[in-house]
Structure 1
Amino acid sequence: MILDCVVLEGNPSDSELTEMMLDRQNVVYGSYPLKAAFDGGFSSQENLKKAMAKEGLKDVCFSKGRGLRVKDMCRSNWVYKQLRNFRAGIESGISWLKRSLGLDRCLWKGFESFKSYVWASIVSANLLTMARHQLA
């Protein structure tokens, strides 16, 4: 299930969003996550320092290290591999949204329409996930 989504105007680079995403988790869920997995675009020494400074956050995994050592990001190689595999699972979910629910291309005009399109796809995905779970 997709529990949160932020649709940003423009196309900011991933490396600018790391701290904002962690802070959003704190606002939405009342605490920072214990572990966080990010795509390679988020990877930087500065983002690692900012992330590790968050209260309660123990492990941070960037799928492409870009010069970062695993022991600086995570407590062990095993934790790093688990977080990297978790991130790969998230990417497969995004791929499913693109292939099955048409999230690969939006023909609706304007930013507000684009946000509506994204949220409609997310609600559809969640309803489909709940229905499949109910049938199982």
Structure 2
Amino acid sequence: IHYPTDSGLLGDGARVLTRTMKKITELTGRAGTKLRNRMRTIGHRVMEIARTSRSKGPQVQERLKQGYRKLLTTTRKVVNQAKRFRKEIASGVKRAKDHEQKLVLQGLRKDLETMLPRVRQVIRQSRARVLGGDVHVAGKLVSIFEPSTEVIRKGKASKPTEFGKMVKIQEAENQIITHYQVFAKRPNDADLLVPAVQKHEEQFGRVPQLVAGDAGFYSASNEAELSEMGVKQISVPNRSTKSPERRRHQKKRSFRRGQKWRTGVEGRISVLKRRHGLNRCRYRGDAGMQRWVGLGVIADNLINIGRFLAANDTG
């Protein structure tokens, strides 16, 4: 998704509703409510807010609020008009000429029913954040097209805030991805380590000799459970430890070797993003996200399996 701003989301919502109402008008003619296209006004408001946000001075915040009040008012008018369109389709005021057009019209009505609650939510959260100063709005949307998109903050200096879905990648020898998972809601990293090893055991009939991960996967209970399962080398750092014994353990050659392996997995994630497009999903919805990630993993595995077979071809 593009970087979400309140004005951008309001503009997106108004644009989609207006586009849908245009299509409805083309099918039904002049019956019922006449379409009033307010996109020129909304575009001016969005640009005005963008210019104001880049300005400096004591009056900037007040000017921003004034701009948002105007934008919110216009967006609400678009929403109210879309509600009338939806109602008139249901009551038969706006009707199609033949069966095929009727199916198209019902599809457009469903589009309105899908988009209207999202735009109303954007109006609520924009009013609360900009005019009320409340940044913790229930049901906050960062995309009207992908409402399940999450805000992800992982402490990266270059990207303090990212938007999307959390994906877990498991890699074995020869850069082969053995398992992946797209999470509907971002879990705690530490809760994923033991299930990942259990999945490996389910697939291959034994636990791996080495398990490596970053500090987010660490917990004392995780290490104890993996040891009980039979994992010989566990290379998951504890950054907050004050134990001299633990620090010595994390400086051992075997532990550092495991961390080098983990760094290679980070490279695999980078390759998936650059070569196979996982930096941006081109499909819509959660099912589309699952499919997009799966296709990227399959493509990468095919390349690496082919390289391995070619390198070991003695014929």
Question: Quick check: TM above 0.5?
Answer: yes
Once the two structures are TM-superposed, the CA of residue 14 in structure 1 deviates from its matched residue by 0.7
1:62 maps to amino acid? V
Q: Distance in 2 between matches of 1:111 and 1:134?
A: 35
Q: Distance in 2 between matches of 1:6 and 1:81?
A: 27
Q: Secondary structure at the match of 2:253?
A: helix
Q: Distance in 2 between matches of 1:114 and 1:60?
A: 32
Aligned with 1:128 (options 292, 299, 303): 303
In structure 1, runs of 5+ residues without a counterpart are none
Q: Distance in 2 between matches of 1:36 and 1:91?
A: 14
Q: Report what 2:232 is aligned to.
A: 58
- Alignment of 1:80 onto 2:255: yes
Q: Report what 1:7 is aligned to.
A: 182
CA gap of 1:132–1:35, structure 2 versus 1, over 3 A, is: closer
2:284 maps to amino acid? K
Q: Secondary structure at the match of 1:3?
A: strand
- Which one is further off, 98-107 or 82-91? 98-107
Q: Distance in 2 between matches of 1:51 and 1:130?
A: 29
Aligned with 1:94 (options 248, 255, 269): 269
CA gap of 1:135–1:58, structure 2 versus 1, over 3 A, is: closer
Once the two structures are TM-superposed, the CA of residue 87 in structure 1 deviates from its matched residue by 0.6
TM-score (norm 2): 0.39
Q: Distance in 1 between matches of 2:201 and 2:310?
A: 34
2:260 maps to amino acid? N
The answer to whether the 8 Å contact 1:43/1:66 transfers is no
Q: Report what 1:32 is aligned to.
A: 207
CA gap of 1:57–1:111, structure 2 versus 1, over 3 A, is: same
- By relative contact order (CA 8 Å, sep 6+), the higher-ranking structure is 1
Q: Whose Rg is larger?
A: 2
- Alignment of 1:21 onto 2:208: no
1:123 maps to amino acid? I
Q: Distance in 1 between matches of 2:253 and 2:262?
A: 14
CA gap of 1:31–1:129, structure 2 versus 1, over 3 A, is: closer
Identity %: 26
CA gap of 1:45–1:72, structure 2 versus 1, over 3 A, is: farther
2:201 maps to amino acid? N
Q: Distance in 1 between matches of 2:194 and 2:219?
A: 12
Q: Report what 2:47 is aligned to.
A: none
- How many equivalent residue pairs? 133
Once the two structures are TM-superposed, the CA of residue 110 in structure 1 deviates from its matched residue by 1.7
TM-score (norm 1): 0.83
Q: Report what 1:41 is aligned to.
A: 216
Q: Distance in 1 between matches of 2:263 and 2:289?
A: 26
The answer to whether the 8 Å contact 2:282/2:292 transfers is no
Q: Distance in 2 between matches of 1:34 and 1:132?
A: 24
Aligned with 1:118 (options 269, 293, 301): 293
Q: Distance in 1 between matches of 2:226 and 2:249?
A: 12
- Measured on the aligned residues, the alpha-carbon RMSD in Å equals 2.3
